[in-house]
Structure 1
């Protein structure tokens, strides 16, 4: 069968999947701009929360780890848990990985994917080309999945935007634009806390608003991790070790438990190295909830309910929602309507079986959309180690 497999997306999961398929001699076409989400939708100056060992993009060939890239590029090797990875280094590593292992990457956009009556899928590219693929792997990362809570949406009726009263953290690469301005960052996770720090260091006056059970907290440094528990990419704990290396049974858990664990495990927590930069530089308001957001003549106002039951009003020139991402098949509009309606979903995420295949034979999902089926490790680059070889093996067996 000469029809190729189409891999949509050229971030860590797409590149890793393509590398595994190529190693199995599976004809593959890969589409996308390499590392685009990391390059365009992460703030300049960001440092990765993950350790160097947890930042390797998996492939079957030796010699393509982050440390290998550092050696070849002539920069300081990043190998210990105390080493911190600049986002610029990680982006360059991903681009090097692509050049080495996925050199035939096509920098075009997939406009639509539809099932063919006789089997396989019909794809249209923004170059005007149409072709048939035997299988499709969706590895589009965070694209189109940014989440804006309902209570903030009222202040941005046309959607979050850098020029609107409310934006999403993914819409800011350069935070120097907030120098001298009042800024509110909503959230308590690493994205919120690091965005706040980078904006404050750029000259903004910043307040973090943490909602509900969220509170501003930071992880323990590597030297304070408990030594009698197994090591995982995320710290020393039995639960993290199991979720990292043995996510096989995760998809058999009840749906409510699976979705809860995806949200709460490795939930809102700042990196250990961020604490010192945060303390004394950023104000914090921990509130029970945000009641509403509204645009004012001078900026944006949040009405909040405190844990003590009081109502307060917080104002700023702009509000950034560092409120994460939500998988929603409906947002993947490059998938044809008939294809989307045929997919079995659970709270917006595709329900995946063995080998990351969806309920539509030949259609696979990896990365964040797979987290509801395979656990929180799929939110992180180190998830490529589990996902990519299994997906490639299943696809080859089913469609080889």
Structure 2
């Protein structure tokens, strides 16, 4: 049951944006330009800055990584000119983080560096948002613009091991702690190749194990254009075409990772893990479908992320149960052409919108379409109180 309203009208924000990464910052830039009374919650660029290795690169070519503001003023190229920063592809992760902070400053975006503890619906269809420190805010609209941090996926089979001997690559800013250790990297995608290459650089003895028969390199400038354009039409496609595109990816492993792995990291493709166990000396033993067994000091499960609305920690159970889900894909919220859920004023941006709007929105490529859709709809949907009033 919705909670009772305990504040006055003047205390109500036009919009609260949850998530201070590329999607959240871009949405806030459009909110600023439209004089909306907003708050952007989260630690600026935290996932890119503190949850990923900093001596690696952004997969997307630099021409496509610009955030979105209404006039397309604060692009990566303008950042390069004004800061005298050399922009290259692949783009270093540190440069991308610096650009994100620069963009926010130029666009007038203000951060509220707190995590959200809970979002609830009030009795008059506004949203009550409580931070980790107990502060409470009310808003007519809430945009959930978080990334993939809540959705780490580790195969069930690894749960037979203590967590001390396996981990997901998300959360590591470097792999120096594994120097001198033997480490298995499970997975056939971008994060697996990245982890294996960085482990090798850090002085670990890494090895790639994956089910594919061989490495699947892909990605091109044209494929990025095609993926971006797909986001503009996906929502209106017939279900048959949507089904073909849901698994679309610009290539499993970017070509720029080849020199970090090939000839340096042993690869064993075409294998499945049949069982894992702990040896007497505390190492991880992996049994494979080939009949071989190998022992490692640690396993990096580079098995990606499984998007699931039920794993968003700040949406309470009552609210989650009111959110309509995609048919046969209940882990995704069903959102309309404006990225709005069935609950008026509750929007989803980024990965959580990627089933309704397509794979483009799992990537930076979806920023502009998202911001240019949500903010105008939010303005038209109901009267909003300008920050100038």
> Quick one: distance in 2 between partners of 1:46 and 1:123?
36
The one-character-per-residue Cα deviations of 1:340-359 (angstroms, maximum 9, x if unpaired) are 11112233111111210112
- Of 114, 137, 140 in structure 2, the residue corresponding to residue 134 of structure 1 is 140
> Quick one: distance in 2 between partners of 1:59 and 1:358?
24
Aligned residue pair count: 369
Counterpart of 1:228?
none
Secondary structure at 1:348 match in 2: strand
> Quick one: distance in 1 between partners of 2:180 and 2:243?
40
CA contact (8 A) 2:184 2:207 kept: yes
- Of 224, 229, 252 in structure 2, the residue corresponding to residue 233 of structure 1 is 224
Change in 2 beyond 3 A, CA 1:181/1:108: same
Counterpart of 2:177?
177
CA contact (8 A) 1:135 1:399 kept: no
Report matched runs for 1:112-123 at 5 Å.
Answer: 112-123=118-129
Q: CA deviation at 1:361?
A: 1.4
Structure 2 spans left out of the alignment, 5+ residues: 1-8, 384-389
Structure 1 spans left out of the alignment, 5+ residues: 223-230
TM-score using structure 1 length: 0.86
Counterpart of 1:292?
275
Once the two structures are overlaid, the 10-residue window that deviates more, 386-395 or 32-41, is 386-395
- Of 138, 158, 183 in structure 2, the residue corresponding to residue 152 of structure 1 is 158
> Quick one: distance in 1 between partners of 2:121 and 2:228?
39
> Quick one: distance in 2 between partners of 1:133 and 1:334?
15
Q: CA deviation at 1:261?
A: 3.7
Secondary structure at 1:117 match in 2: coil
CA contact (8 A) 1:110 1:123 kept: yes
Change in 2 beyond 3 A, CA 1:86/1:37: same
1:7 maps to 2:14 = no
> Quick one: distance in 2 between partners of 1:294 and 1:97?
48
Counterpart of 2:239?
253
Secondary structure at 1:372 match in 2: coil
Q: CA deviation at 1:288?
A: 4.0
- Of 21, 27, 38 in structure 2, the residue corresponding to residue 28 of structure 1 is 38
Q: CA deviation at 1:18?
A: 1.2
Q: CA deviation at 1:214?
A: 6.5
CA contact (8 A) 1:167 1:321 kept: yes
Counterpart of 1:217?
216
Q: CA deviation at 1:102?
A: 4.3
Counterpart of 1:226?
none
Change in 2 beyond 3 A, CA 1:30/1:363: same
Counterpart of 1:39?
49
> Quick one: distance in 1 between partners of 2:382 and 2:37?
11
TM-score using structure 2 length: 0.89
Change in 2 beyond 3 A, CA 1:179/1:19: same
> Quick one: distance in 1 between partners of 2:126 and 2:295?
53
